Amino acid sequence: MTPMWSTSDPVSSLGLSLAVLLLAAKVGGDLASRLRQAPVLGEILGGLLLGMLPFGWSQHIRSDASVDMIGRLGVLILLFEVGLDSTVRDVMKVGVASTRVALFGTVCTWIAGWIAARWAMPHASGVTDLFVASSLTATSIGVSARVMKDSSRSGTREAHVILGAAVLDDVFALVVLAVVTAAVVRTGDRNVTFWSVGCMVGRVVGFLAGALLMGVTLSPWLFRASFRLRSDGALLATGLAFCFVLAWASDLAGLAPLVGAFAAGLILEDSHSAAFVARGERSLRERMEPISSWLVPIFFVLVGMRADCRALAHVESCSVVLALTLAAILGKMACAAGAPANVDRISVAIAMWPRGEVTLVFATLGATLYVGGHPLLDATQYSALVAVVVLTTLAAPPALRYWWAHAANG
């Protein structure tokens, strides 16, 4: 029997799927905002609810190749925007304190995550443990930044250290992602050696250095050339083309396309849009908003839909979630050791708790990579990473407020 949602034209079926995903994203995001939570949480939870509905079209959306491709495109746009929020100059100017915070948090979280994965997932492969530990390293600073803004602490020394560390945190996490993904794709589980990992690190650093150097050199010329085009949207088209070309080059180099998209955003600065803005057009970041406002939420809803809550309905699965969440929190508490003495170190550490976009990208990528004919992340491991994102994002704001109240009374 043909399902009622199937039509003769596949475009109409795709349109219906996108309508469902967009409605779930916007309703969930609105409810989360009303509860003073990050909209991404509402989008993920909206996807979880859609995935649990007892209708065949839910499975149809999850398995639809066209929907999956749009979600993958959303990831590229997401990483491009993450890069746009910083610049190469920002990375160079974060300061010694922020660099220490980011390094301590990344290294200690990776170690804690690997120990937790080994303990909670004794039957998982070594590469899976490596991948899960790596996925916990990236901080989603948007939640903490919003809490500090709501608490009128955006201009404090702590906020400056946190935001500077967040810039490097994204860079470190994407480097780790590139190295681990290359290890899985090129060597598999049995042949990962210190030499092969060292070669992969060299490849990642070489690609990023080459992309940044060439991009910084060539991008001004590219945007000056596009400025001569009088057609509307030339700035946006040039920016997206730059993103997609670097994503393709990253894949050609044996790295995740996400690394190239992030590098593209990191290269582009407000100066690239200056001439366009001077003649009355919107900047590239503003031009990107209508595209990202529907593509990126689709990715987050799909993340929620693909998480299997039933896979977590066992004591063993709950232990995986709790172990990884504890590792994620304790690893970032090490950031306090890297913070300077003239700031509230505990506030800095707690503000680094939330996991978000990059961890979800890790989880999605891990579910699509195969080692020995099996997914790198099974349903339990994938769902556990999604749960870690939700729990750490929910835990950080009240923990920060509690610490501030305790410090004020103490």
Number of domains comprising the chain: 1
8: in domain:
no
332: in domain:
yes
Q: What is the CATH number of the domain that holds 337?
A: 1.20.1530.20
Cβ atoms of 30 and 42 within 8 Å: the answer is yes
Which pLDDT band, with edges at 50, 70 and 90, does 321 fall under? very high
Beta bridge partners of 370: 375
10: in domain:
no
- What are the φ and ψ backbone dihedral angles of 283, each rounded to 5 degrees? -70, 170
Which pLDDT band, with edges at 50, 70 and 90, does 326 fall under? very high
9: in domain:
no
| CA 181/CA 131 separation, integer angstroms | 8
The vertex-361 CA angle with 358 and 364, nearest 5°, equals 155
pLDDT, average across residues 244-271: 84
321: in domain:
yes
| CA 63/CA 362 separation, integer angstroms | 19
If DSSP codes are grouped into helix, strand and coil, which group holds residue 375? Answer: strand
pLDDT in tens, 95-117: 788 888 989 999 999 999 999 99
pLDDT in tens, 329-360: 999 999 888 888 888 889 889 988 988 777 88
pLDDT in tens, 370-395: 777 788 898 889 999 999 988 998 88
4: in domain:
no
Q: In whole numbers, what is the pLDDT of the chain averaged over residues?
A: 83
5: in domain:
no
3: in domain:
no
- Residue 70's domain comprises 16-409
